[in-house]
A and B are shown apart, each in its own frame.
Chain A
Amino acid sequence: MVRVSGVSHRPTPLATALALLLAAVSTAILSPTVAQRVAIVAAVVGAGLLVVGGREFATALPLGWLPTALGAALVLGSILRGETLADPRHSIELVPGLVGIALLGLGLRPLRGRFARRFVSAGLAAMVVGVGLVGIFEGAGPLRLLGATAAAIAAWDVAEHGISLGEQLRTDAETRSVELLHTGATSAYGAVTVVVALIIYDYGATLSLGALVLLLGAAVTLLALLYR
């Protein structure tokens, strides 16, 4: 009898772990307190268990549903904890990032093969919203915002890379060197972008916001045209 499973191609394990790690870094950059960091660790562990629970192993796990249930409980618990922090500003910093990690975990499990990329993109969107909220409500410094943005985009890129590798080569293929190089290259480029942006900010402090807007508007329009 042939076993029918909804998902035949799963993201590669290393890229999955690295993506979750980068998402955690992005959220941790925005959330400085210890209570927040504990919630992040719980969410990442939970998302990791969600992913593990979705895999098939050579020898079947004795309690196959246990990692999934435990992971879901951890993720939901950490989000609840984030909601109930004493300082509401801490909640704003933390919750969107936790939702992002949870969505990334669901995308990398994946819940449904063809929705893997959508979940990962939704995870990026949640993390980006988090960065935006912190920027609006706290007027946070540029280093935090830029670092969190770059890490979130890198997490999305690594997750997407892992999905494409899983699709084309499946998880049993040896792909580690490619995953490490890709993650390294994207992260390094992200770091360079952050440094360049900070240098622009330092020199551009004297520039009026209007001029900066014009400059950026032009650059973004150019990009949008390039991609059409």
Chain B
Amino acid sequence: MTVRATGRWRGIVAVALLFVAVGVLTDRPATLLAGVVGAGLAAYPKLSRPPTVDLELERHLGDARPACGEPVTVTTRVTNTGSHTLADCRVIDGVPAMLSVAGGSPRHAAVLRPGETTEFSYAVESEPGRHQFDPATVIARDITGAHEVETTVAAGTEIQVEDAVPELPIRPQPDGYAGRLVTDEGGSGIEFHSVREYRPGDPIGRIDSKRWARTGELTTVEFREERPASVLLLVDARPAAYRAEADGRPNAVAHCLAGVEQLVSALSDTRDAVGLAAFGRELCFRAPGVGTDHETALWQLLATHPAFDATPPGQVRARGGAEGIGSDDELDRQATLLRKQLGTDTQVVVLSPLSDEHIVETVRTLAASGHTTTVISPDVTAEGSLGQRLARRERRHRLRALRGADVPVVDWDPETPLGTVLLAEEKRRWSA
């Protein structure tokens, strides 16, 4: 909870002083008296205290599991559970970052007496996936507007929209330990690798029986070993990455988070070890692993870790809250820390809008230190003003720079589902 003085009445002191000065200099008592009114109004904000905010929030969804593209009506009820009247209570509902508002306004202001409830509703466009509502931001001012209390009220609400995209195609697993990463080493697998001399302990099934029948020599057939991959999904959630195509559209971090959620659910169906990391408010790192517990931990991290917040830091007010976290040194520090914790055989998939040069440097350093790195970059640039066109050109340049450094980049237009984009990419590489 933040309490701040708005200082909006400060200028009235000047009005009071002006009237007093004019009244005295020109010997006009009535003008002097106008100074009294000025002083009285300047003292007005001193009569009130910052409001105490005790609120309860309830959200009702018209349809909690709508079909894709169907607008969903959200009705939010806010009740004043405190014992004081809130003369100016402003509520900004925490619409999930991926959903855009289709009708009505998710913002509302009301006078709330103790026990009173206010209600407002709006409609959101449904996008495929699971969407968690953020806590609503409440800004309560006293009657004079001199003090402002900003706080959040939470109510866990979720919209689940059926995915219209088929799941990523995953090959069935031959046994418990194999994975889909085909290595150049011999062992058990499907694809032929080599034939070597029999060593005691080799499985009977792998003995080349035809050669044994022909020559009486014991040999063992080796196959290319298939190992599970170890993948780290890294989200760029620095303040610079919270860019959106236009006001009211989901920002790049929200797209990245939606992408990560899809990738986590796709990868957890395979034997691949999945880890999660983010640069941003603070470094978040969870080493790759497998199993239900690990998967639960990943989902929990995605839902609760501050680095995975889809709202930009310090959104309601520019001041406060955002110091230091956007600096380049901070990114270097977080990247070094991440490289130290990362296993050498872990692949890194970076999700970033590539909104500045620094993340490109970081990705190249990661690739240079021996990690197989891939970048998935949601394109949130627009073709409008000169500045927007420049941003688009710069991003294209960064994509080229990364591809030049042997880092494959998937240019993802968020209008298209990530699954489709990845499938197309796979096809392109096969045909190339």
Whether A4 and B41, one on each chain, are in contact in the complex, defined by CB atoms closer than 8 angstroms, is no
Question: With a CB–CB cut-off of 8 A, which chain B residues contact A139?
Answer: 28, 30
Counting CB contacts under 8 A, is A194 at the interface?
A: yes
Distance (whole angstroms) from the CB of B185 to the closest CB of chain A: 52
Indicate whether A193 sits within 8 Å of B40 (C-beta atoms), given known contacts A128-B18, A142-B33, A161-B145: yes
Instruction: List 6 A–B pairs whose Cβ atoms lie within 8 Å, in order of A's numbering.
Output: A146-B30, A157-B145, A164-B6, A168-B90, A168-B316, A178-B109
Asked whether A93 is an interface residue with its Cβ less than 8 Å from the other chain, the reply is no
Partner of A169, one of B18, B29, B105, B111: B105
Q: Which of A17-25, A76-84, A94-102, A211-219 contacts B (4 or more CB under 8 A)?
A: A211-219
Q: Is the CB–CB distance between A169 and B31 below 8 Å?
A: no
Is B109 a contact of A164 with CB atoms below 8 Å?
A: no
Q: Report which B residues bind A (CB closer than 8 A).
A: 6, 8-13, 15-20, 22-24, 26-44, 46, 87-90, 92, 104-105, 107-111, 120, 139, 143-145, 245-247, 316, 382-385, 388
Interface size class of A (residues with CB under 8 A): 35 or more
A175 vs B90: C-alpha distance when bound (angstroms):
8
Q: What 16 additional pairs, Cβ within 8 angstroms, besides A3-B384, A157-B9, A169-B107?
A: A1-B384, A140-B30, A142-B33, A146-B37, A150-B41, A157-B8, A164-B6, A164-B8, A174-B120, A185-B144, A186-B44, A189-B41, A189-B44, A209-B29, A219-B36, A226-B43
In angstroms, how far is the closest chain B Cβ from the Cβ of A105? 19
Contacts between chains A and B (CB distance < 8 A), count:
188
A1 to chain B minimum Cβ distance, whole angstroms, is 6
- Kindly state the separation between the CA atoms of A15 and B142 in the bound complex, as whole angstroms: 17
A181 at the interface (CB under 8 A from B): yes
Q: How far is the CB of A115 from chain B (nearest CB, A)?
A: 15
The reply to whether B109 and A201 form a contact with Cβ atoms under 8 Å apart is no
Given A153-B41, A182-B143, A223-B43, decide whether A131 and B34 contact each other with a Cβ distance below 8 A. Answer: yes
Give the docked Cα–Cα distance between A145 and B20 (Å): 13
**B90:A165 contact, CB within 8 angstroms:** yes
Across-interface contacts of B46 in A (CB, < 8 A): 226
CB within 8 Å of B: which of A147-178?
A: 149-150, 153, 157, 160-161, 164-165, 168-170, 172-175, 177-178
Q: How far is the CA of A124 from the CA of B38 in the complex (A)?
A: 12
Do B40 and A196 touch across chains, with their CB atoms under 8 A apart?
A: yes
Q: Across the interface, which residues of B come within 8 angstroms of A226, CB to CB?
A: 43, 46
With a CB–CB cut-off of 8 A, which chain B residues contact A62?
Answer: none
**Is the C-beta of A197 less than 8 angstroms from some C-beta in chain B?**
yes
A8 to B316, CA, bound (A): 14
Contact A201 B33 (CB under 8 A): yes
Whose C-beta in chain B lies nearest to the C-beta of A8?
Answer: B247
Given A128-B18, A135-B23, decide whether A141 and B30 contact each other with a Cβ distance below 8 A: yes
CB distance from A188 to the nearest CB of B (A): 10
Q: Closest 9 CB pairs between A and B?
A: A135-B31, A193-B40, A169-B107, A175-B109, A173-B107, A2-B246, A142-B30, A197-B36, A172-B105
Which residue of B12, B34, B145 contacts A164 across the interface (Cβ within 8 Å)?
A: B145
Measured between beta carbons, the chain B residues less than 8 angstroms from A131 are 19, 31, 34
